[in-house]
Amino acid sequence: MAQTVLPGGADHAFSPAEIVVEVKALACEMPKNLGLPFSRLSRGDIAREAVRRGIVASISGSTVWRWLSEDAIRPWCYRSWIFPRDPHFEQKAGAVLDLYQGIWEGKPLGDGDYVLCTDEKTSIQARRRLAPTANPQPGRPGRVEHEYERMGALAYSVAWDVHRARVFGLCQPTTGIEPFRRLVDQVMAQEPYRTARRVFWVADNGSSHRGQTSIRRLCQWHSNAILVHTPVHASWLNQAEIYFSVVQRKVLTPNDIEDLEQLESRLYAFQNHYESVAAPFEWRFTRLELSKLMAKLTDAGEPLARAA
């Protein structure tokens, strides 16, 4: 392609569409594939590389920014990602998504069926700040002392009723099979779960409830309880994680807590408050969206041969 010389930098109004497309394609490349010693590209990097490759004779970083903004391309941004590794990922994820929609093994749930999501938030620290936290003032945010004294840590286990927006929590020194059983017993001793036909417990593959053994063990504890595992590396399917994200924002940030007693008191107080105002989460990701996602990842050439 012939070079396009645009004094003062390229301008979208006068640049051939092919040049815009090539610059956008360049921005979507991995730097290592371009032979560049970067992990991410800035708009200046893209502009210099476009000139070096002869796409344009001159272009400014601001022009690159304007062109990329049209398609919301941000090569300097990234997020962590774990590709599905469970050989039965779609099957396991689909079973969980069905429960959220009120379906189990292709049949609607009945009035005597309940769905709970459970998880543990481990090692929550109580951090006593070395100077008092200052209230916000006009034109100045609140101030939290950076240095703190560690006053211990605890684990917070919860069970979230998906369709009834009820939350049950238990603060304990650590996690494990017995701490998990204490939470289960606390929930299952109450109505309507005690006399329910079936109570589905959606859980991840943590050590407290891992594998087929944990499924049998839960049934031995309570004959009407059914453990349903999410696939490995799929915590985003567990609605208990949404509640934990609320707790993190509303209770633990900033972390300015005197001791474990105060930490436990705050967690329980917030739990009671949240249940009084909460509604079921508007979960819109269904089996259909899951199938589309898996197909999209496969079409993109990602390593899903073991997962689909």
CB atoms within 10 A of CB 210: 14
Query: Looking at this protein, which amino acid is placed at residue 4?
Result: T
**How far apart are the C-alpha atoms of 87 and 11, rounded to whole Å?**
50
Residue 104, helix vs strand vs coil = strand
pLDDT over threshold 50, residue 1: no
**How far apart are the C-alpha atoms of 134 and 254, rounded to whole Å?**
12
Overall average pLDDT of the 164-173 stretch: 97
- Give CB contacts under 8 A, 24+ apart, made by 16-22: 19/55, 19/56, 20/67, 22/50, 22/55
Query: Looking at this protein, which amino acid is placed at residue 85?
Result: R
Q: What is the structure's pLDDT at 305?
A: 38
- Please provide the average confidence, as pLDDT, over all residues in the chain: 90
**How far apart are the C-alpha atoms of 74 and 87, rounded to whole Å?**
33
pLDDT over threshold 60, residue 308: no
Q: What is the structure's pLDDT at 302?
A: 52
For residue range 59-110, list pLDDT tens digits in order: 999 999 999 999 999 998 988 877 788 888 999 999 999 999 999 999 999 9
Q: What is the structure's pLDDT at 80?
A: 83
Q: Identify the burial level of 27 via C-beta atoms within 10 angstroms of its C-beta, where 0-12 means exposed, 13-18 middle and 19 or more buried.
A: buried
Assess contact for 44 and 61: CB atoms under 8 A: yes
Residue 282 per-residue DSSP state: -
**Residues with Cβ < 8 Å from 174, sequence gap 6 or more?**
122, 155
The CATH code belonging to domain 89-288 is: 3.30.420.10
Overall average pLDDT of the 112-117 stretch: 98
For residue range 23-48, list pLDDT tens digits in order: 999 999 999 998 989 899 999 999 99
> Over pLDDT 90: what percentage of the chain?
82
H-helix or E-strand containing 153?
Answer: strand 148-161
**How far apart are the C-alpha atoms of 304 and 177, rounded to whole Å?**
32
Q: Which candidate, 35, 41, 2, 34, places its Cα nearest to that of 18?
A: 2
Which residue has better confidence, 74 or 6? 74
| Ramachandran angles phi, psi of 3, nearest 5° | -70, 145
